[in-house]
């Protein structure tokens, strides 16, 4: 067979062996994108909050209270996967809006404390939001749900320990705080630390941040997709809109 004919035949055979969309991802996975990390959204003060004669944000924050997770909240994960033949890793990102929970802030003298917080995420709602040319990322979602065994362990739950907040939280400013707590996934509970940003504005609040962990710590094996190697390190991301309930 002439060489100019043999080379295309070999290429086609390789595509067949690798298999459809998987082969396309193998050769063209350089065409891929991942969304940025979740962050606090821009504040939208009301007319009363914008007026210096009506310091709503400061007075509400100073009394403390309990805030409940509201619509627009997101939680998800970010992991690195390495495609065969590619020099750089790709960040696989999945998110869900199926998030519930509450955060309680109390005041003792001039000190503000996040005295309680529990956030629950329904894992069955996780959907990939990154893209890889030629690969249907929803296939990954099914594999992840199998690895997490969401039928038996449908939720991930973060329960925070009490932590003191910077004094500037009382003025509606963005504060950064490390929050120790526990994370339960796949029926396993581990101590973790969440790196969070918090802003309280009137009767609403926002929280955004991450928890760095490893899936193998929870008895979860890195998913195998044939042409992809998934790293065990996981970054859990949250962006929570909160409304005051008490």
Task: Please report, for the domain that includes residue 18, its CATH number.
Answer: 2.40.128.110
The total number of structural domains in the chain stands at 1
Q: How far apart are CA 127 and CA 76, in angstroms?
A: 9
| Portion of the chain with pLDDT greater than 70, in percent | 79
> What's the mean pLDDT in 78-98?
89
Look at residues 122, 128, 129 and name the one whose alpha carbon lies nearest to residue 143. 128
Q: How far apart are CA 227 and CA 23, in angstroms?
A: 8
Query: Would you state the pLDDT for residue 63?
Result: 59
> Strands 155-160, 188-201: parallel, antiparallel or unpaired by DSSP?
unpaired
For 161-184, the pLDDT digits (tens) are 999 999 888 788 999 999 999 999
Query: Would you state the pLDDT for residue 50?
Result: 43
9 close to 210: Cβ distance less than 8 angstroms:
no
Within 10 angstroms of residue 123's Cβ, the number of other Cβ atoms is 21
For 136-167, the pLDDT digits (tens) are 888 889 999 999 999 999 999 999 999 999 98
What is the token pair recorded at 160? 């925070």
> What's the mean pLDDT in 45-74?
62
What is the token pair recorded at 104? 């309680």
Residue 61 has pLDDT above 70, yes or no: no
pTM for this model (two decimals): 0.80
Q: How far apart are CA 14 and CA 116, in angstroms?
A: 56
Helix (H) or strand (E) holding 58: helix 56-63
Domain housing 81: 3-244
Least confident window among 13-17, 186-190, 208-212, 230-234: 13-17
Look at residues 205, 106, 240, 211 and name the one whose alpha carbon lies nearest to residue 162. 106
Query: Would you state the pLDDT for residue 132?
Result: 85
Q: How far apart are CA 205 and CA 69, in angstroms?
A: 9
Query: Would you state the pLDDT for residue 23?
Result: 47
């Amino acid at each position: 067979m002439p060489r100019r004919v043999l080379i295309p035949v070999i290429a086609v055979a390789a595509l067949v062996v690798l298999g459809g969309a998987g082969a396309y991802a193998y050769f063209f996975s350089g065409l891929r994108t991942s969304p940025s990390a979740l962050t606090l959204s821009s504040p939208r003060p009301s007319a009363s909050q914008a007026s210096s004669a009506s310091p709503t944000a400061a007075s509400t924050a100073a009394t403390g209270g309990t805030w409940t997770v509201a619509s627009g909240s997101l939680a998800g994960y970010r992991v690195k996967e390495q495609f065969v033949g590619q020099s750089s890793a790709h960040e696989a990102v999945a998110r869900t809006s199926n998030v519930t929970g509450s955060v309680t802030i109390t005041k003792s003298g001039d000190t503000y404390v996040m005295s309680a917080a529990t956030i629950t995420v329904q894992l069955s709602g996780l959907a990939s939001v990154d893209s890889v040319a030629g690969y249907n990322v929803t296939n990954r979602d099914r594999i992840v749900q199998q690895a997490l065994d969401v039928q038996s362990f449908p939720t991930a739950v973060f329960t925070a320990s009490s932590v003191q907040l910077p004094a500037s939280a009382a003025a509606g400013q963005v504060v950064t705080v490390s929050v120790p707590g526990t994370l339960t996934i796949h029926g396993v509970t581990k101590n973790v630390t969440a790196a969070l940003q918090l802003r309280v504005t009137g009767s609403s609040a926002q929280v955004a941040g991450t928890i760095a962990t490893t899936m193998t710590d929870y008895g979860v094996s890195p998913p195998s997709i044939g042409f992809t190697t998934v790293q065990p390190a996981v970054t859990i991301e949250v962006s929570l809109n909160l409304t005051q309930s008490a």
